[in-house]
Amino acid sequence: MSKRMIYLDNNATTPCDPRVVEAMLPYFYENPGNAASRSHPFGWVAEEAVDYAREQVAQLIHVDPKEVIFTSGATEGDNLAIKGVYEMYKRKGNHIITVRTEHKAVLDTCDHLEKMGAEITYLDVQNDGRINLADLEAAIKPTTILVSVMWANNETGVIQPMTEIGEICNRKGVLFFSDATQAVGKIPVDPKATGVHLMAFTAHKMYGPKGVGALYVSRKNPRVKVTAQIDGGGHERGMRSGTLNVPGIVGFGKAAELARLEMAQDAERLSKLRDRLQEGLMALEETVVNGNEAYRMPHVANISFKHVEGEGLMMTFNQTIALSSGSACTSASLEPSYVLVAMGLGDDLAHSSLRLSLGRFSTPEDVEEAITLISNGVNHMRELSPIWEMYKEGVDLSKIEWSEH
């Protein structure tokens, strides 16, 4: 057994690439300038570093550097985009369309706006986790100002039909925002070609530092404006005030450059590892893959093990493998994953799911060891389970009426 803990929670955060750390280090001490200090060389060096990083980030997603607004992360980006569009365009309308399986940063922002007078439509998803395009089209009305759909889901890795959504929004004259946190840096993402007008993403999901992200805001066809949510000093084209996190931004730029150069081979290697991991675990009986397998991120598998409680299962190997059941951002609660419930899974299957997300530093040895440890854990939990015993004896569990006492 390896003493090193196996890290399979790259959807929660990725380790910072050593090459990113190396690029950041000089900006903590040798080049300590504030990028807004225009009166001396320290400030100029910092400003130059930020400009270069902005170009690196813009190149990754094929946009103009002027369209990249630096933020503290994707949660702030989601808030700035959704609240900023709502305030800027509320004379046109107050209706926003989003999806039940969005990240909490989007859902909670929409919930906040609902209290402020916005009308929010929450689209259901199909059993494979993707939206029905006809439902989206039917939901758009004259007062609709924004459609918010995440590019790839954080729990299942399912990728939405982004180009088709973009076409519908374009035809209806509605702005299209995407939380692309899980997609940028892992698969090709081109908001302009896809018809996305605003897009939030973050460095720490692509081997960069935590605490820095970006919001892409289209400057032409259409020119989109958002109302600032943080005031004071007018940094970032007036959309996001605050002293820029220069070391973080430099690291974000380097991470974006590495992703652009290495994404294709990373994805190819990781999809093979993911398929091996999935195949190894699917050898267990009564095991289900959640989400559309054709349209999902190359490094993610969400698997339910029937008649096993996910949190309990994790206790069997939590000293050796880091992963999550349900959603990492809300894993403090023992509610079943709202994403899986929205996909039509019963509480039992939703509770028995594990999210396995590989990354740049995952090895074939990690995968083989994870298959062994998780399989042993599932078999151990099932041996202790009276429900599993009943299932093995052929009892139809759906027909049983459980007493309240």
Catalytic, 329? Answer yes
Counting beta carbons within 10 angstroms of the beta carbon of residue 4, is it exposed (0 to 12), middle (13 to 18) or buried (19 or more)? Answer: exposed
Q: Which residues pair with 154 in a beta bridge?
A: none
CA atoms of 165 and 139, how far apart (whole Å): 12
Check residue 129 and give left, alpha or beta (phi > 0: left; psi -120 to 50: alpha). Answer: left
Q: Which of 35, 37, 67 is nearest to 54 (CA)?
A: 67
CA atoms of 275 and 248, how far apart (whole Å): 34
300 CB-side CA count, 13 A = 29
**Residue 363 CB contacts under 8 Å (≥ 6 apart), including other chains:** none
Q: Which of 322, 311, 319, 304 is nearest to 358 (CA)?
A: 322
Counting beta carbons within 10 angstroms of the beta carbon of residue 55, is it exposed (0 to 12), middle (13 to 18) or buried (19 or more)? Answer: middle
Rg (CA), the chain: 22
* Beta strands 198-202; 175-179: pairing state: parallel
CA atoms of 114 and 124, how far apart (whole Å): 18
Work out the end-to-end distance of the chain between its first and last CA atoms, rounded to an integer number of angstroms.
Answer: 43
The active-site residue out of 16, 110, 169, 329 is 329
Q: Which of 203, 200, 201 is nearest to 176 (CA)?
A: 200
Amino acid letter at 216?
Answer: Y
Give how far Cα 42 sits from Cα of 188, 195, 245, 251, 389, Å. 36, 39, 15, 18, 70
Tokens of residue 175, six digits: 């702005």
b/e map 213-243, b = 16+ CB within 10 Å: bbbbbbeeeeebebbbbbeeeebbeebbebe
Q: Which helix (H) or strand (E) holds 375?
A: helix 364-383
Prior bond of 26 cis (ω within 30°) = no
Residues marked active site are found at: 329
